């Protein structure tokens, strides 16, 4: 049962975390707060609030400056699995994108869950490519849930939920993102992981905050050397030279240190498909062309391409040199 203090904290912006810590359960006075409406909204979105050290997962208690309140959306049991954190710059280079994909191609053979911060660039690529490979993924928000569910990236949360993965936030439901909330998110990403992988980082990259947190919490961090002539790798190279990050030249050997091989083949996540989506999959199974798809499914070209993109993000199809095909792991 959720501690009543969490509901009051969610509703009343004037209550601080220190006040929440000091308040006993019996001291909570709900007054005129509309707790029933809040509970209904949380239930509708399957968001579970909890107190760390009480009914939240034990991994959160190991974080430096551990959070007190957490909001978790969808499959909480993913926290029981070994976690691989992958973070990087918002403006990733082509080299960094290639490294992330190669590392995840190796990671799909291991029993693990990826975790990242849902920012543009590397973070979003981690979530997107994990879904494409059938790897469970966890999103840690740097904002309130209201903001995320109304943002331009809300479709991504829908895909995460459709795949039964997990979204986490420690920020009260009405708290907007700020320069303070993103570093707070980074310490959670680092603190619950078995290891952190960094494909590269330039000067003042926010991903280095995650690395610094990981070092303080004794969570191992690995990276790859980048070109000395590329500023997007300048600071990851510097951290590497100082011994603050380990070098991962062999991805499989790196993963072997922290994770066990997964002998059960990953498959695409199970999702409920619309009639049109199922028609597209059936047609692709028969290796039919885009032109045939357009006539059979009765969609305009932009609509069909959008639905193919949705199916790709769900991990059900992929685009190869010869066109769109069914999921192949």
Average pLDDT in the 128-133 region? 85
The residue assigned the tokens 């070994």 is 82
How many helices (DSSP H) and strands (DSSP E) are in the chain? 14, 11
pLDDT at position 290? 64
Instruction: Give, in words, the CATH class of 77-256.
Output: alpha beta
Reported as a pLDDT band with limits 50, 70 and 90, residue 126 is very high
| Distance from C-alpha of 324 to C-alpha of 133, rounded to nearest angstrom | 16
Q: What is the pLDDT of residues 236-283, one digit of tens each?
A: 888 888 988 999 999 999 999 999 997 545 444 445 677 778 878 777
The per-residue pLDDT for range 142-156, each reduced to its tens digit, is: 877 766 666 666 676
CA atoms within 13 A on the CB side of 313: 18
pLDDT score of 201 more than 80: yes
pLDDT higher than 70, residue 138:
yes
- What residue segments make up the domains of the chain, in order of their start? 1-44, 77-256, 275-326
Categorize the per-residue pLDDT at 100 as very low, low, confident or very high, splitting at 50, 70 and 90.
Answer: very high
- Residues 301-315 have pLDDT tens digits of 667 777 777 777 666
User: 208-211 long-range contacts, Cβ below 8 Å, gap at least 24?
Assistant: 208/235, 208/236, 208/239, 209/183, 210/85, 210/87, 210/117, 210/186, 211/87, 211/239, 211/244, 211/245
- Position 213 scores a pLDDT of 92
Judged against a pLDDT cut of 60, whether residue 322 lies above it is answered with no
The reported pLDDT for the residue numbered 315 is 65
Mean pLDDT over residues 50-79, rounded? 86
**pLDDT over 90, % of the chain:** 25
For position 97, what pLDDT does the model report? 92
Higher pLDDT, 85 or 298: 85
pTM summary value: 0.74
Answer yes or no: is pLDDT of 204 > 60.
Answer: yes
- pLDDT score at 23: 65
Predicted confidence at residue 6, as pLDDT, reads 78
Q: Which of 27-41, 59-73, 94-108 comes out lowest in average pLDDT?
A: 27-41
Query: 221: number of CA atoms within 13 Å, CB side?
Result: 29
């Amino acid at each position: 049962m959720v501690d009543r203090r969490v509901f009051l904290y969610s509703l009343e912006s004037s209550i601080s975390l220190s006040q929440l810590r000091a308040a006993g359960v019996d001291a909570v006075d709900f007054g005129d707060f509309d707790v029933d409406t809040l509970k209904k909204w949380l239930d509708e979105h399957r968001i579970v609030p909890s107190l760390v050290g009480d009914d939240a997962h034990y991994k959160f208690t190991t974080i430096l400056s551990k959070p007190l309140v957490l909001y978790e959306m969808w499959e909480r049991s993913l926290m029981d699995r070994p976690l691989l954190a992958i973070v990087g710059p918002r403006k990733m280079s082509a080299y960094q994108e290639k490294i992330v994909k190669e590392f995840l191609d190796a990671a799909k053979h291991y029993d693990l869950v990826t975790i990242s911060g849902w920012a543009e660039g590397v973070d979003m690529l981690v979530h997107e490519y994990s879904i494409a490979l059938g790897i469970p993924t966890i999103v840690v928000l740097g904002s309130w849930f209201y903001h995320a569910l109304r943002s331009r990236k809300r479709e991504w949360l829908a895909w995460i939920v459709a795949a039964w993965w997990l979204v986490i936030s420690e920020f009260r439901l009405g708290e907007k993102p700020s320069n303070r909330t993103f570093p707070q998110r980074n310490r959670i990403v680092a603190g619950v992981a078995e290891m952190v992988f960094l494909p590269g980082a330039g000067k003042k990259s926010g991903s280095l905050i995650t690395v610094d947190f990981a070092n303080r919490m004794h969570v191992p961090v690995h990276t790859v050397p980048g070109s000395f002539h590329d500023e997007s790798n300048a600071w990851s190279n510097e951290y590497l030279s100082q011994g603050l990050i380990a070098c991962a030249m062999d991805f499989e050997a790196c993963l072997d240190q922290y994770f066990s091989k997964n002998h059960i083949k990953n498959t695409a996540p199970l999702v409920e498909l619309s009639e049109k989506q199922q028609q597209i999959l059936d047609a692709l199974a028969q290796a039919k062309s885009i032109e045939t798809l357009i006539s059979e499914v009765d969609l305009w070209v932009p609509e069909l391409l959008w639905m193919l993109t949705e199916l790709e993000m769900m991990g059900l199809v992929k685009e190869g040199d010869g066109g769109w095909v069914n999921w192949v792991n």
